[in-house]
Amino acid sequence: MDEHSDTDSSLDSLREKIIGLGERSIRKSYYPELQQKLGELQRFRALLDQSNDMVFLLQVPSAGIIDVNESACRQLRYTRDALLACSLYDISDEKTLAPLKLLFKDGQAGVLDSETFDALLCGSDNSLVPVEIAVKLVAFAGALYAVASVRDISERRSAEAALRESEEKYRTLFEESRDAIFMSTPEGKYLDINPAGVELLGYSSKEEMLSVDIDKDIYVDPADRARFKALLDSNGFVKDYEIEMKRKDGKKMTFLSTVTAVRNEAGEIIAYRGIRRDITEHKRLEQELRQAQKMEAVGQLAGGIAHDFNNILTAIMGYGSLLHMKLSSDSPLRAYIAQILESAGKAAEVTHSLLAFSRKQIMNPRAVDINEIIRRVERLLTRLIGEDIEIYTELADEPVCCMADSGQIEQVLMNLATNARDAMPSGGKLHIRTQLVKGDGALNGPAGFGKSGTYVLISVSDTGMGMTKETVEKIFEPFFTTKETGKGTGLGLAMAYGIIRQHDGYIDVNSEPGKGTTFNIYLPATSAHEDVCAWAATENPPRGGAETILVAEDDEKLRNLFKIVLSQRGYEVLLARDGEKAISMYMKNRDRIGLVIVDLVMPKKSGGEVYDEIKKINPYVKVLFCSGYTADFIGRGGIPADNINLITKPVAPNILLEKVRDILDGSDENLARFSEQNT
């Protein structure tokens, strides 16, 4: 008979003796003592059965289950009898219970208070339950037993697994984040920093970063950290705080920091934990956007002023021209009138510059080769900037073509060369280069933001005194100049800016004091160029006529001027002070009006709206727009810019008469069709 059976027999015998003793004790005096012992046993059994932990009484070394509480039966889903019929080895994972076998083999009662280890127990449904077993060896009646207290640690294992997964996830986030994640001491040492933080600050390894002095090596101004630290210590948390820092190579960078103060149980700050995002490029683009918006606003203001001023100049030049024609050739007043007209002409040049800056001046774009323009201008530049400045050109081997007004591009080059000359009072070098470049949308600067495509790049560099950052930021603003009073209007670069932007191009400048200046001009490239012939004005005096002309102009002085100029040449003139009057007058006189002269900007209805209404009445109407704005500006108002007649203010009387005659002398087929349709 095995040891387990011998023990059962001994227990049965003991049980019978206890029962017999109990029956006899009814008649004996020690009954109360025995009754007390039995009560203690019952309370102990009840206590074991109420325990959430599983409790086993085991034989040693076989691990046979002598007794077990209800919790073990419930959690392992066995009946009590089923568990009493097996050993703990039978319901456990063999590998995990190796420590128990070793303990049973070598253990002695009282040598250890308890031995604790993790194991897996098998439920009745073959599911494995992770448990923690605490075993204590006890000696009883000359035999060695073990009391095993077993606790289900499934939830703890799940929590540990979740914790490991969380740690792995956040470790991955820490390692792979493109933002700098760090922990540092209040004294200014890094405790930990991720690879992105090391890379952003230009260091070679984390170990190198852990040795730096944050105050001295990282902050551009150590006082900034002192202010940031005071704010953090006071609030315990700082969000989106902008800080300027420096890389190992000294390059300045701007970071957006969110940092939390870490405190110990005593409430003392022991570390800072935070994240920093590099916003250096964002700040640069933001600054350039603000500059572009500022330039656009100034341009709109300049364009509005120039447009209104052109109306005034048109009146001055027009009435002055009429007076000049009325005076005899020997009149002493002719010299005074000539001075007035000359001054008005200079004022017109100023308004032309303002309109160039605002990108609303007239231009005549053609497909041209920029190399040819530079070769043509190079001869003029030699005389313009003097012999003490050497001019070098480095032009692309192949033609670099774009849609441009060659006269305006020449003007831009002359302005840049003039500025370069003033920046090199003691002589120097002027270098002009051209090449084709691919724009990927990254072209940017104070002039605007680039679009993808092929560009003609014109670089104009000098070896002059250079400019400060503050000067560069204002260099394209109208009337801004670094020259002495009376030596510059401040419109040269503003006009260059406007011309390039009107060509859908971009211009930026790179300059530092003592290192010269480079202007880069980007113009959208095209595939071919045209031979441009200069327009020769006719010397014949403008002819008049007997046609009826409707003039729609909101400025009373200009209306009267147009009437005088046209009437003197034989034309019948009808006048309208606004858009609605113009439409009404045309409807009443449509069968005899041969030409409509209309201002683009008028009250009640604009020139474009007048044009649309009249076209509905007579699709073949002849219209001459008079404005300070460009054909492409008119086109944005819905008028077909590729097929319009336009004169720009200020306009001389002879130019107006020539244009009117040219339009009226055009084909009369349209007028004939209109007459046939209305008869």
Tokens of residue 579, six digits: 């858009």
Closest CA to 648 of 657, 656, 640: 656
The predicted-structure confidence for 294-310, as pLDDT tens digits, reads as follows: 666 666 666 666 667 77
Backbone phi, then psi, for 192, in 5-degree steps? -160, 150
Q: Which two tokens stand for residue 14?
A: 């003991």
What is the per-residue burial (b if ≥16 Cβ within 10 Å, else e) of 489-511?
ebbbbbbbbbbbbbbbbbbbbbb
Q: Which of 635, 461, 443 is nearest to 523 (CA)?
A: 443
In this predicted structure, which of 15-19, 73-77, 122-126, 578-582 has the lowest mean pLDDT? 15-19
Pairwise pLDDT comparison (514 vs 17), residue with the higher score: 514
Which residues have C-beta within 8 Å of that of residue 462, sequence separation ≥ 6? Answer: 420, 423, 424, 428, 429, 430, 431, 516, 517, 518
Q: State residue 413's pLDDT score.
A: 85
Query: Per the structure block, which two tokens stand in for 397?
Result: 């081997």
Q: Is the confidence at residue 396, as pLDDT, over 80?
A: yes
What type of residue sits at position 575? L
Q: Return d(Cα 437, Cα 621) in angstroms, integer.
A: 46
Q: Is 113 exposed, middle or buried (0-12, 13-18, 19+ CB in 10 A)?
A: exposed
* pLDDT tens-place string over residues 55-88: 898 888 888 888 888 888 888 889 989 989 988 8
Q: Which residue has the higher pLDDT, 614 or 170?
A: 614
Helix (H, G, I), strand (E, B) or coil at 353: helix
Average pLDDT over residues 647-657: 80
CATH 3.40.50.2300: does it fit domain 3-154?
no
Eight-state DSSP code of residue 650: S
Count of Cβ atoms closer than 10 Å to residue 363 Cβ? 17
Domain 366-526: assigned CATH number: 3.30.565.10
pLDDT of residue 338: 80
* Residue that wins the pLDDT comparison between 190 and 22: 190
Distance from C-alpha of 225 to C-alpha of 657, rounded to nearest angstrom:
73
List the CATH code of the domain at 284-357. Answer: 1.10.287.130
CA-wise closest residue to 519 among 469, 464, 462 = 462
Does 177 have pLDDT greater than 70? yes
What percent of the chain lies above the pLDDT cut of 70? 74
Q: How far is the C-alpha of 262 from the C-alpha of 220, rounded, in Å?
A: 25
Name the pairing type of β-strands 623-627 and 645-648.
parallel
Count CB-CB contacts under 10 A for residue 524. Answer: 17
Beta bridge partners of 626: 599, 647
186, pLDDT greater than 70? yes
Q: What is the DSSP letter of 268?
A: -
pLDDT for residue 22: 45
Q: How far apart are CA 94 and CA 298, in angstroms?
A: 86
Task: Decide: 276 and 180 in contact? Cβ < 8 Å.
Answer: yes
520 forms beta bridges with 459, 508
Mean pLDDT of 192-199: 90
Q: 4 pairs with which residues across the strands?
A: none
Sequence-distant (6+) residues with CB within 8 A of 657 are: 542, 543, 544, 565, 566, 569
pLDDT at residue 189 in the model: 92
The listed range with the strongest mean pLDDT (26-35, 130-139, 670-679) is 130-139
The more confident residue out of 474 and 484 is: 474
* Lowest mean pLDDT segment, chosen from 33-42, 123-132, 188-197, 381-390: 33-42
Per the CB < 8 A criterion, the answer to whether 597 and 547 are in contact is: no
- For the stretch 223-267, pLDDT in tens is 888 888 888 888 888 998 888 999 998 888 999 999 999 988 888
Instruction: Let me know if the fold of 3-154 is the same as that of 177-278.
Output: yes
Fold classification of 177-278 is Beta-Lactamase (3.30.450)
182-186's contacts with Cβ under 8 Å and 24+ in sequence apart are 182/273, 182/274, 182/275, 182/276, 183/262, 183/271, 183/272, 183/273, 183/274, 184/214, 184/271, 184/272, 185/270, 185/271, 185/272, 186/229, 186/233, 186/269, 186/270, 186/271, 186/272
CA 56 to chain centre: 68
Using the predicted structure, report yes or no on whether residue 184 has a pLDDT greater than 80: yes
Average pLDDT on 109-123 reads 71
DSSP 3-state of 121 = strand
- C-alpha 604/C-alpha 584 separation (Å) is 13
Predicted pLDDT at 175:
78
Average of per-residue pLDDT across 450-455: 76
Both tokens assigned to 543: 């002819």
The number of residues in the chain equals: 679
User: What counts of helices (H) and strands (E) characterise the chain?
Assistant: 21, 24
The residues pairing with 662 across neighbouring beta strands, listed in sequence order, are none
Residue with tokens 């390039």: 500
The whole-number pLDDT of residue 300 equals 65
Task: Please report the DSSP string for 312-346 in residue order.
Answer: HHHHHHHHHHHHHHHS-TT-THHHHHHHHHHHHHH
250, 257 contact by CB (below 8 A): no
pTM: 0.41
CA Rg, the chain, in Å? 49
Q: Is 668 helix (H, G, I), strand (E, B) or coil?
A: coil
Q: What's the CATH fold of domain 548-677?
A: Rossmann fold (3.40.50)
Closest among 603, 646, 605, 609 to 628, alpha carbons compared: 646
> Is the predicted pLDDT of residue 191 greater than 50, yes or no?
yes
Q: Of the segments 30-34, 280-284, 379-383, 546-550, which one has the largest average pLDDT value?
A: 546-550
Q: Is 635 helix (H, G, I), strand (E, B) or coil?
A: helix
Lowest-pLDDT choice from 29-33, 58-62, 96-100, 624-628: 29-33
- Distances from the Cα of 325 to the Cαs of 71, 230, 320, 613, in angstroms? 123, 80, 9, 38
CB atoms within 10 A of CB 156: 13
Dist CA 190 CA 121 (whole Å)? 47
Does 650 sit behind a cis peptide bond, omega within 30 degrees of 0 on the bond before it? yes
Q: What residue ranges do the domains of the chain occupy?
A: 3-154, 177-278, 284-357, 366-526, 548-677
User: Are the beta carbons of 412 and 500 closer than 8 angstroms?
Assistant: yes
Within 8 A by CB and 6+ apart from 25, the residues are 31, 34
d(CA 409, CA 5): 114
Tell the residue number behind the tokens 């006269």, with chain if given: 407
Looking at every residue in the chain, the average pLDDT score rounds to: 77
Tokens linked to 275: 């994240």
* Predicted confidence (pLDDT) at residue 532 exceeds the cutoff of 70: no
Cα(178)–Cα(200) distance, integer angstroms: 9
pLDDT given for residue 40 in this prediction: 52
Q: Please give the average per-residue pLDDT across 2-30, as a whole number.
A: 47
Q: Is the pLDDT of residue 474 over 80?
A: no
Predicted pLDDT of residue 60: 84
301 HSE (CA, 13 A, CB side): 9
Stretch 481-495: mean pLDDT: 56
So what's the pLDDT on residue 590? 85
The answer, yes or no, to whether residue 405 has pLDDT greater than 80, is no
Instruction: From 457, 462, 372, 374, select the one nearest 418 (Cα to Cα).
Output: 462
The stretch 471-481 carries a mean pLDDT of: 70
